Amino acid sequence: MFNAILIEREPPPYRASLKKLEESQLPAGDVSVRVEYSTLNYKDALAITGKGPVVRQFPLVPGIDFAGTVDESSNPGFKRGDKVLLNGWGVGEAHWGGLAQIARVEADWLIPLPGALTTRQAMAVGTAGYTAMLCVMALERHGVTPGDGEILVTGAAGGVGSVAVALLSKLGFRVAAMTGRPAESGFLTELGAAEIMDRAAYAGAGRPLAKERWAGAIDVVGSHTLANVCASLRYGGVVAACGLAGGMDFPGTVAPFILRGITLAGIDSVMRPRPDRVEAWRRLSRDLELNKLELLTVEISLAQALERAATILEGQVRGRIVVDVNR
């Protein structure tokens, strides 16, 4: 028997609860992992509350990432005792995920835990931090350097944003952190932000072209915010877009693309090829200051994940929420 959060649709209404399950109930997979830590992400909150079309099969254990120790493996790539982590691949959406003490998954979805990180630290980074690293790598791939100018991070007090601020600062960039929560200014400054901006400045409809300011940006908001970021990029600037907290629409124009040659780089973390994942986690283990990681991390129990889900959707959570599934 093991503890897990289980989402059920029958009998109605849709509900998520903490349950004891049998290992025989686990889905198919060639590696079983004793989960040590998982996380609570925006997508997990949508799944647990039922406020977004995340869950694609019922019943389902949510949790889009986890880290732990291999218990059983029929795949030669992993053996009992290996430390591993997982992000994405539809886990927590179409396949049972990490908000449980045991997970059974395909070996191809796992990567070895970087030696510099503990399982707890890996989940303090989690999918949010891994996504932030993919965004940073996209900026670098398009030639953005610290000498080019300021980088804007939207939704900076959230999971992706807070890790992005810490990473960019460590890499030598001057970072402006945009947030709707002025009370988090001290937190963001401690992570390395050189300037705090009010999200209201970019939240409404803006001009097709604004004053050139940003050499690059990482956006988790979408909608008017993303359109305004694009309009205010410097010539040749790059924005890595990875979220839609403010909406799925993009009410912008082609003006900054054809007059300033900017680039909009879309970031998908769910189906990212394995080499990119391994490189992102290698970079995270090297470029993220672990003392800053502790600043942005809160740890909760598996049962507490149920009540915390709603607070994420209400924008009341800063940084990262790590879930100790064994308490």
User: Which one, of 191, 197, 121, lies nearest residue 155 by Cα?
Assistant: 197
Specify the pLDDT at position 13. Answer: 76
Specify the pLDDT at position 12. Answer: 73
Q: What percent of the chain has pLDDT over 90?
A: 92
What is the spatial distance between Cα 214 and Cα 179, in angstroms, rounded to a whole number? 16
Task: For residue 316, name the pLDDT band (cuts at 50, 70, 90).
Answer: confident
Helix (H, G, I), strand (E, B) or coil at 194: coil
Task: For residue 26, name the pLDDT band (cuts at 50, 70, 90).
Answer: very high
Specify the pLDDT at position 14. Answer: 84
What is the mean predicted confidence (pLDDT) over 295-310? 94
Domain residue ranges in the chain: 2-113+296-324, 126-266
Element (H, E) at 309: helix 304-313
Q: How does 5-35 read in b/e, with b if 16+ C-beta sit within 10 Å?
A: bbbbeeeeeeebebbebeeeebeebbbbbbb
Neighbours of 134 (CB within 10 A): 23
Specify the pLDDT at position 10. Answer: 78
What is the mean predicted confidence (pLDDT) over 28-48? 96
Specify the pLDDT at position 195. Answer: 98
Under CATH, which number does the domain 2-113+296-324 receive? 3.90.180.10
What is the mean predicted confidence (pLDDT) over 51-63? 93
What is the spatial distance between Cα 305 and Cα 298, in angstroms, rounded to a whole number? 12
Q: Name the CATH superfamily for 126-266.
A: NAD(P)-binding Rossmann-like Domain (3.40.50.720)
What is the mean predicted confidence (pLDDT) over 44-56? 92
**Residues 286, 262: contact at Cβ < 8 Å?**
no
What's the pLDDT tens digit per position in 129-143? 999 999 999 999 999
What's the pLDDT tens digit per position in 278-294? 999 999 999 999 889 98
Asked if residue 147 has pLDDT above 90, the reply is yes
Specify the pLDDT at position 165. Answer: 97
The C-alpha angle 182, 289, 90, rounded to 5 degrees, equals 80
Specify the pLDDT at position 314. Answer: 86
- Single-letter amino acid code for the residue at 173: F
Cα separation of the two ends of the chain: 15
Query: What does pTM read for this prediction?
Result: 0.94
Task: For residue 315, name the pLDDT band (cuts at 50, 70, 90).
Answer: confident
**Residues 283, 138: contact at Cβ < 8 Å?**
no
Task: For residue 156, name the pLDDT band (cuts at 50, 70, 90).
Answer: very high
What is the mean predicted confidence (pLDDT) over 104-123? 97
Backbone angles phi, psi at 243, to 5 degrees: -150, 170
What is the mean predicted confidence (pLDDT) over 149-172? 96
What is the mean predicted confidence (pLDDT) over 85-108? 97
- Look over the chain and give the mean of its residue pLDDT values, rounded to a whole number: 96
Task: For residue 86, name the pLDDT band (cuts at 50, 70, 90).
Answer: very high
**Residues 171, 140: contact at Cβ < 8 Å?**
no
What's the pLDDT tens digit per position in 187-209? 999 999 999 999 999 999 999 99
User: Which one, of 258, 243, 165, 159, lies nearest residue 208 by Cα?
Assistant: 258
157: left (phi over 0), alpha (psi -120 to 50) or beta: alpha
What's the pLDDT tens digit per position in 203-257? 999 999 999 999 999 999 999 999 999 999 999 999 999 999 899 999 999 999 9
**Residues 240, 218: contact at Cβ < 8 Å?**
yes
Specify the pLDDT at position 249. Answer: 97
